[in-house]
C-alpha cells in the first residue's frame, strides 16, 4: 500500500464509520433461563398484539415485521420463575411498550414530531387515569393499556399501582425527549443520555415488574434507597448492553440517544474504540451490581425472603435482557435467526447479520472513498 493510498484510507476512516465492528464476549455473570412456557407465552402474546394493536401498524406486512422480532419472548426470558398468568401479562406489557418504542424510532410515525407524540402519550395517560381507572380509550394504545391494567392491577398493591402509572409516564416522557433530541440532531453528554434512557428504557417498570413477577412489594424499601446502588449499576448494565447489541439498528435509525454516539461525539472515539470502551463499562457495572446486590443480601434486609426473591429477579432481568438482545431480529435484521452465538464481527450495512468469525469481505459495489 502506498503512502497516498494510506492517506486516502485514513481520511475515509475519519469521515465514515468502518462497516464492520467486533463485539467481544461479554462477561455474562448473571443467570439466564427461559420461562418453562416461554414458547407458548410468546405465541399467545403475538395474538394479543394482533388483536389489540394491529391497527397501529401501517399494514399487515409491518405488523409481521414487528412480530418476527420476537418481542413477546422478552417477558418469559426476564421472569422465568413467574406464575404463568403473570408472565403472560408481563410479556404483553413489554410488547405494548415495544410497539410504542418502535414508532418513536420511526420518522414516518410517532418519531416525526415530538409535540404530536406528546399529545398521543397524554391521551394514553388519560385513558389509564391517575389511578388506572381509565378514560374513553379512543385509540388502540389506550385500549391496550386499559386491558393490561385490568389484568395486572389485581396483582399489585395500591403503592405499586401508583408506581405503574408513574413508570408509564416516565417511559413516555423519555420517548418524547428522545424524539425531540433526535430531530434536533444533538448528541447528548453521557449523564444526560443515561438519564433520558432510564426513562425511555422503562427502568421503573422493569424494576416494578420484577416485583410483580416475584409476587413481592418493594415499594417501601425502594423508597428508602435500599436498592439504589444495585439499581444504578444494574440499569446502566442493561442500557449499555442494549446500546452495544442495538447499535446496528440505532445507526440505521440515526438515533442520537445512545452511548455509542455519545462516546463518538464527546470523546472522539472511533466505532471500535467506543465498542471496546462500552464492553469495559458493561463489565464494570455488572460486577458493581453484583457487589451491591451482595451488600443488600449481607445487610439488615438480607434475610427477608421477599428481598431475596426480588434480587434474584433482578439477576434474571439483567441476564435475560441480554439473552433477548442476542436473539432478536430487531437488532440483527428482519429475517435473522439466532444460532446461540454471542460474539464476533457485525456489519452496519448488512440487512441481516449474525456474529461472524471474520470481518465481511469488501463489498462488491465500490463505495465512496474506498478505492485503491
Site for its own copies, rule CB under 8 A: 34, 36-40, 42-44, 46-47, 50, 64, 67-68, 73, 76-77, 327, 335-341, 352
Shortest CB 349 distance to its own copies, Å: 15
Shortest reach from residue 153's CB to its own copies, in Å:
24
Helices (H), 185-270: 190-200, 203-214, 219-223, 228-245, 247-252, 259-267
Q: Which residues contact 90 (CB under 8 A, 6 or more apart)?
A: 75, 78, 79, 82, 209, 212, 213
User: Minimum distance from CB of 55 to its own copies (Å)?
Assistant: 15
Nearer to its own copies, 82 or 194 (CB): 82
| Residue 220 exposed, middle or buried by CB count within 10 Å (0-12, 13-18, 19+) | exposed
By beta-carbon proximity to its own copies, the closer residue of 32 and 214 is 32
Comparing CB distances to its own copies, the nearer of 93 and 227 is 93
Nearest to its own copies of 158, 363 (CB atom): 363
CA pair distance 104, 114, nearest whole angstrom: 9
Q: How far apart are CA 53 and CA 61, in angstroms?
A: 14
Cell readout for 279 is 464492553
| Residue nearer to its own copies on the CB measure, 154 or 361 | 361
Give the CA distances from residue 12 to residues 5, 77, 258, 268, in Å, rounded to whole numbers and listed in that order.
10, 41, 23, 16
Q: How far is the CB of 338 from its own copies (least distance, A)?
A: 6
Give the shortest CB-155-to-its own copies separation in angstroms. Answer: 23
Using the minimum distance from each CB to its own copies, give the nearer residue, 46 or 242: 46
Query: Could you write out the DSSP letters of every residue in 114-163?
Result: HHHHHHHHHHHHHHH-TTS------SHHHHHHHHHHHHHGGGS-HHHHHH
Query: Would you say 89 and 152 are in contact if contact means Cβ atoms under 8 Å apart?
Result: yes
Chain position carrying cell 408481563: 90
Smallest separation (angstroms) from its own copies to the CB of 88: 12
To the nearest whole angstrom, how small is the minimum distance from the Cβ of residue 292 to its own copies?
29
- For its own copies, the closer CB: 73 or 292: 73
Measured at the alpha carbon of residue 126, what is the angle toward residues 159 and 89, in degrees to the nearest 5?
Answer: 55
Amino acid at each position: 500500500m502506498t503512502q497516498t493510498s494510506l492517506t486516502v484510507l485514513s481520511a475515509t476512516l475519519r469521515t465514515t464509520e468502518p462497516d464492520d465492528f467486533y463485539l467481544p464476549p461479554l462477561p455474562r455473570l448473571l443467570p439466564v433461563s427461559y420461562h418453562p412456557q416461554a414458547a407458548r407465552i410468546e405465541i399467545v402474546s403475538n395474538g394479543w398484539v394482533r388483536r389489540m394493536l394491529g391497527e397501529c401498524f401501517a399494514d399487515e406486512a409491518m405488523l409481521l415485521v414487528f412480530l418476527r422480532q420476537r418481542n413477546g419472548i422478552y417477558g418469559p426470558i426476564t421472569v422465568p420463575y413467574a406464575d404463568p398468568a403473570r408472565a403472560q401479562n408481563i410479556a404483553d406489557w413489554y410488547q405494548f411498550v415495544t410497539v410504542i418504542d418502535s414508532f418513536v424510532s420511526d420518522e414516518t410515525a410517532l418519531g416525526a414530531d415530538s409535540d404530536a407524540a406528546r399529545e398521543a402519550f397524554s391521551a394514553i395517560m388519560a385513558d389509564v387515569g391517575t389511578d388506572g381507572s381509565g378514560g374513553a380509550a379512543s385509540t388502540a394504545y389506550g385500549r391496550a393499556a386499559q386491558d393490561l391494567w385490568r389484568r395486572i392491577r389485581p396483582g399489585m398493591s395500591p403503592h405499586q399501582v401508583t408506581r405503574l402509572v408513574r413508570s408509564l409516564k416516565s417511559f413516555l416522557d423519555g420517548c418524547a425527549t428522545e424524539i425531540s433530541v433526535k430531530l434536533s440532531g444533538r448528541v447528548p453528554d453521557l449523564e444526560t443520555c443515561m438519564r433520558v434512557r432510564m426513562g425511555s428504557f422503562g427502568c421503573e417498570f422493569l424494576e416494578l415488574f420484577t416485583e410483580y413477577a416475584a409476587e413481592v412489594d418493594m415499594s417501601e424499601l425502594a423508597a428508602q434507597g435500599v436498592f439504589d446502588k444495585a439499581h444504578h449499576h444494574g440499569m446502566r448494565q442493561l442500557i449499555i448492553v442494549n446500546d452495544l447489541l442495538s447499535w446496528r439498528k440505532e445507526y440505521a435509525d440515526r438515533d442520537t440517544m445512545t452511548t455509542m454516539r455519545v462516546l463518538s461525539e464527546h470523546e472522539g472515539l472511533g466505532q471500535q474504540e467506543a465498542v471496546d470502551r462500552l464492553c469495559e463499562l458493561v463489565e464494570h457495572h455488572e460486577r458493581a451490581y453484583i457487589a451491591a446486590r451482595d451488600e443488600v443480601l449481607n445487610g439488615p434486609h438480607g434475610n427477608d425472603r421477599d428481598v431475596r426473591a426480588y434480587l434474584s429477579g433482578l439477576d434474571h432481568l439483567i441476564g435475560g435482557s441480554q439473552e433477548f438482545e442476542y436473539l432478536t431480529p430487531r437488532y440483527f435484521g428482519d429475517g435473522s435467526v439466532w444460532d446461540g452465538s454471542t460474539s464476533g464481527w457485525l456489519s452496519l450495512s448488512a440487512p441481516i447479520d449474525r456474529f461472524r468469525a471474520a470481518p465481511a469481505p469488501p463489498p462488491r459495489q465500490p463505495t465512496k472513498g474506498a478505492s485503491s
